[in-house]
Amino acid sequence: MSFRKASILPGFGLTFGFTTFFLSVIVLLPLAALTLAAASMHWSDFVHVVLSPRALGSYRLSFGASFLAAAINLVFGLIIAWTLVRYEFPARKLIDALIDMPFALPTAVSGIALTTVFAHNGWIGRFLEPWGVRIAYTWLGVTLALTLITMPFVVRAVQPALLEVQRDLEDAAETLGAGRIYVARRIILPTVLPSLLTGFTLAFARALGEYGSVIFIAGNLPMKTEITPLLIVIHLEEFDYQGAAALGVVMLVISFVVLFAINLLQAWGRRQQVRAAH
Amino acid sequence: MAAALPAAHGGDLTRPGQHTWVHAIVRWVFIATSLAFLAALLLAPLATVFAMAFQRGLYAYLESFADPDTAAAIRLTLTTAAVAVPINTVFGLAAAWAIAKFEFRGKSVLITLIDLPLAISPVISGMVFVLLFGLHGWFGAWLRDHDLSIVFALPGIMLATMFVTFPYVARELIPLMQQLGNDEEEAAITLGADGWMTFFRVTLPKIRWGLVYGVVLCNARAMGEFGAVSVVSGHIRGLTNTMPLHIEILYNEYNFVGAFAVASLLTLLAGLTLVIKTAIERTGYRRRR
């Protein structure tokens, strides 16, 4: 088999050549530089950087807050998607369009706005202060920022799946005496589960790398409210390129693992869909 | 998505269980929970941007744009987007043509590689250019000897922006063109049109909404990128500060009117992006991933 199938359409050489060249220069070469910078380190130096107490503290926060944010969105994303798909209420279309706002809004804007709202004298923060709940400059703030930034993933993943749920199946089940909870568990949940988990994982992956919105609300104390991307920036600012590259490689490997999980989930979702169609 | 969202009610009253009070309560709880969550997390921050920007009145708001550093930040952001977005648009068109119109080995690997920047932390996206072109980077010494600077200068900001916005147009066009197929292009070529004519007269009209969609999202990210640009910029006021970076500086100086005034412009841009996006979806255009 040759490299490509014959076609009467022109332009393969030009477009394929430009695509691979540009991809190599802008994306692949820089990423190779990162890997090589980390690979040029002595093994013990690498371990020293990526397993330092400060680095471990940052992983704990980054993973914990990202997981929590994705979990919050799992619950509320499902509720919002359900509300948008199944119920009629004023401004429904407007709210549906606004769901994408966190993707369109620059992260720095989300960061300063969220910090202002949840600061001790902010619109919402002032009502939490008497209860002893502090959000700005704590890990709660980090979680909240990550929740906002990743909010659209679950909603947008689940919405099409909810539209696919066969309502005649629900009706049939209810006619035969099934309760709403039984219908939700046996008919609705299996249909939306793959997309729900895909949305969760996409949100988690995005949250792990997020920087702009978090640094404003985090307080950025080492071991307490310092996320891994910030620790990389601190290494860079001290001209410790190797240390930054070592942490960068750790994050890169984790992103690839999560990406792989997303691909598996999506393949599973497609299989479920095919099964449901038969 | 809005266009893909059909009316919710469609004959609900005839369905079993839809008229009971339990259903009414569930419905009310769902709507209230959704609205409360969005109000606290999304609407309150959006409203705060404008409340803070106008807290000392319209005059102070407008005056904050007279600051030469703010004006320079706005210019730099516009310049960067004006370079990065067209280049990535041309790339997206080329990649989509190569991938959708031809069958070749390793295609799925190529698609995965194009999506790669979306999976990478913005901080890493910026750092790779520091490792290449920074003072202690691979080409650092050579660049210094030739009196060139990429990092902490305009080229670095443009490279980092291009990196993070790299996939936007391509990932919109590839599935769209794959779905539309090759029949019409093949007919045009058979009838004697050349490649460019086929592209401009046959392909481009078919994919125009997908193209605009991708370009608008690409532009929003290019103008709003913080992490990647922050790492390569060096934060030199009036020189290498884009709008998002300038927001950070003003905010950290407690110049809240100034910070939120710049933020209000970016919020309006995000709103405009969503309006265009929703308008395109109303034409029946639907995202394919």
pLDDT in the model for residue B198? 94
CB-CB under 8 Å, B44 with A123: yes
Mean pLDDT computed over B252-268: 96
Cβ contacts of A31 on chain B, cutoff 8 Å = 116, 120, 128
Q: How many other C-beta atoms are found inside a 10 Å radius of the C-beta of residue A152?
A: 24
CB-CB under 8 Å, B277 with A96: no
pLDDT in the model for residue A23? 96
CB-CB under 8 Å, B277 with A147: no
pLDDT band of residue B190 (cuts 50, 70, 90) is: very high
Q: What percent of chain B has pLDDT above 90?
A: 77
pLDDT in the model for residue B136? 80
Q: Report yes or no on A42 lying in a domain.
A: no
CB-CB under 8 Å, B9 with A88: yes
Residue A164 reports pLDDT greater than 90: no
Same domain, B67 and B49: no
Phi and psi torsions of A95, nearest 5°:
-65, -35
pLDDT band of residue B2 (cuts 50, 70, 90) is: very low
Mean pLDDT computed over A110-127: 94
* pLDDT per position as a tens digit, B219-239: 999 999 999 999 999 888 888
Residue A13 reports pLDDT greater than 60: yes
Q: Is B161 on the interface with A (CB under 8 A)?
A: no
Same domain, B177 and B253: yes
pLDDT in the model for residue B104? 93
CB-CB under 8 Å, A3 with B277: no
Q: Report yes or no on B170 lying in a domain.
A: yes
* pLDDT per position as a tens digit, B46-60: 999 999 999 999 999
Same domain, B34 and B164: no
Q: Report yes or no on B189 lying in a domain.
A: yes
Domain that holds residue A95: 60-277
Q: Report yes or no on A13 lying in a domain.
A: no
The angle, 0 to 180 degrees and rounded to 10, between the axes of the packed helices A139-149 and A151-164 is 40
Same domain, B75 and B123: yes
Count: domains in chain A: 1
Q: From B235, which residue of chain A is nearest by alpha-carbon distance?
A: A237
Same domain, B47 and B118: no
Domain that holds residue B19: 14-53
pLDDT band of residue A2 (cuts 50, 70, 90) is: confident
CB-CB under 8 Å, B121 with A229: yes
Q: From A88, which residue of chain B is nearest by alpha-carbon distance?
A: B8
CB-CB under 8 Å, B34 with A84: yes
Q: From A118, which residue of chain B is nearest by alpha-carbon distance?
A: B45
Residue A163 reports pLDDT greater than 80: yes
pLDDT in the model for residue B6? 63
Cβ contacts of B274 on chain A, cutoff 8 Å = 97-98, 100-101, 104
Same domain, B158 and B46: no
Mutate to test the interface with A, among B13, B49, B118, B123 (most CBs of A within 10 A): B123
Q: Is B45 on the interface with A (CB under 8 A)?
A: yes
Q: Report yes or no on A80 lying in a domain.
A: yes
pLDDT in the model for residue B138? 84
CB-CB under 8 Å, B98 with A19: yes
Mean pLDDT computed over A97-114: 96
Same domain, B46 and B81: no
Per-residue tokens: B231: 């790492």
Same domain, B151 and B218: yes
Q: Report yes or no on B250 lying in a domain.
A: yes
Cβ contacts of B91 on chain A, cutoff 8 Å = 18-19, 22
Name the β-bridge partners of B243.
Answer: none
Same domain, B31 and B173: no
Q: Report yes or no on A19 lying in a domain.
A: no
pLDDT in the model for residue B45? 96
Mean pLDDT computed over A111-140: 92
* pLDDT per position as a tens digit, B16-31: 555 678 788 888 999 9
Q: Report yes or no on B289 lying in a domain.
A: no
The size of the A-B interface in CB pairs under 8 A is 307
Cβ contacts of B26 on chain A, cutoff 8 Å = 180
CB-CB under 8 Å, A28 with B230: no
Residue A19 reports pLDDT greater than 70: yes
pLDDT in the model for residue B15? 57
* pLDDT per position as a tens digit, B105-160: 999 899 989 999 998 999 999 999 999 998 888 888 889 888 888 999 999 999 99
Residue A166 reports pLDDT greater than 80: no
Same domain, B24 and B160: no
Residue B12 reports pLDDT greater than 70: no
CB-CB under 8 Å, B102 with A16: yes
Q: From B224, which residue of chain A is nearest by alpha-carbon distance?
A: A106
Residue B4 reports pLDDT greater than 60: no
pLDDT band of residue B10 (cuts 50, 70, 90) is: very low
The more confident residue out of A167 and A131 is: A131
ipTM of predicted complex? 0.90
Q: How many other C-beta atoms are found inside a 10 Å radius of the C-beta of residue B23?
A: 14
When the pLDDT of each residue in chain B is averaged and rounded to a whole number, the result is: 90
Count: domains in chain B: 2
pLDDT in the model for residue A278? 61
pTM for this predicted structure: 0.91
pLDDT in the model for residue B3? 43
Residue A42 reports pLDDT greater than 50: yes
CATH of the domain at A119: 1.10.3720.10
Same domain, B186 and B231: yes
Mean pLDDT computed over B176-191: 93
Cross-chain CB nearest to B17 (options A82, A102, A180): A180
pLDDT in the model for residue B5? 65
Torsion of CA B262, A113, B250, B224, to 10 degrees: -50
Mutate to test the interface with A, among B23, B127, B281 (most CBs of A within 10 A): B127
Secondary structure, 3-state, chain B: CHHHCCCCCCCHHHCCCCCCHHHHHHHHHHHHHHHHHHHHHHHHHHHHHHHHHCCCHHHHHHHHHHCHHHHHHHHHHHHHHHHHHHHHHHHHHHHHHHHHHCCECCHHHHHHHHHHHHHCCHHHHHHHHHHHHCCCCCCHHHHHHCCCCCCCCHHHHHHHHHHHHCHHHHHHHHHHHHHHCCHHHHHHHHCCCCHHHHHHHHHHHHHHHHHHHHHHHHHHHHHHCCHHHHHHHCCCCCCCCCHHHHHHHHHHCCCHHHHHHHHHHHHHHHHHHHHHHHHHHHCCCCCCC
Same domain, B46 and B117: no
pLDDT in the model for residue A267? 84
Mutate to test the interface with A, among B14, B131, B274 (most CBs of A within 10 A): B131
pLDDT in the model for residue B257? 95
Q: Report yes or no on B203 lying in a domain.
A: yes
pLDDT band of residue B1 (cuts 50, 70, 90) is: very low
CATH of the domain at B133: 1.10.3720.10
pLDDT band of residue A186 (cuts 50, 70, 90) is: confident
* pLDDT per position as a tens digit, A190-240: 888 989 999 999 999 999 999 999 999 998 888 889 999 999 999 998 989
Q: Report yes or no on B5 lying in a domain.
A: no
pLDDT in the model for residue A265? 85
The 3-state DSSP class for residue A136 equals coil
Q: Report yes or no on A14 lying in a domain.
A: no
Residue A83 reports pLDDT greater than 50: yes
When the pLDDT of each residue in chain A is averaged and rounded to a whole number, the result is: 90
Residue A3 identity (one-letter amino acid): F
